[in-house]
Amino acid sequence: MASRGRRDKGSKSGGQALAEVNGVTITTEDFKKELENLPPYLKPMADTVEGKKEMLDTMVIRELISSRPARTVSTRAGGSGQGGRPEEAGGG
């Protein structure tokens, strides 16, 4: 299931592989598309090797975050009413 431009695991959008994250390959074509979508004031960043590395790092981090299973936060329903922390629940 692809969403917001993400590819299905293992598929490639073309170009040389730059990184693989949880079975998703980030290619040179993906990098070029990312560069095209940058606001004009950020485009000069990609003129340097360091800027390109930072851009690729950002793409990898984004993929890691988007491929991570959603976590739910649960609270103690019907707890002691004292904040739900175990050290506070003991009373005293």
DSSP annotation string for the chain: ---TTPPPTT---SS-EEEEETTEEEEHHHHHHHHHTS-TTTGGGGGSHHHHHHHHHHHHHHHHHHHSPP------TT--SS-S-HHHHT--
In tens digits, what is the pLDDT along the chain, a chain of 92 residues?
333 344 444 444 688 999 999 889 999 999 999 999 999 999 998 899 999 999 999 999 999 998 877 666 666 665 555 555 555 555 55
**pLDDT value of residue 10:** 47
Contacts for 81 with CB less than 8 Å, ≥ 6 apart: none
Domain ranges within the chain, ordered by starting residue = 17-67
The closest of 26, 27, 34, 29 to 51, measured between CA atoms, is 34
Look at residue 13 in the predicted model and tell me its pLDDT.
64
Q: What's the whole-model pTM score? A: 0.61
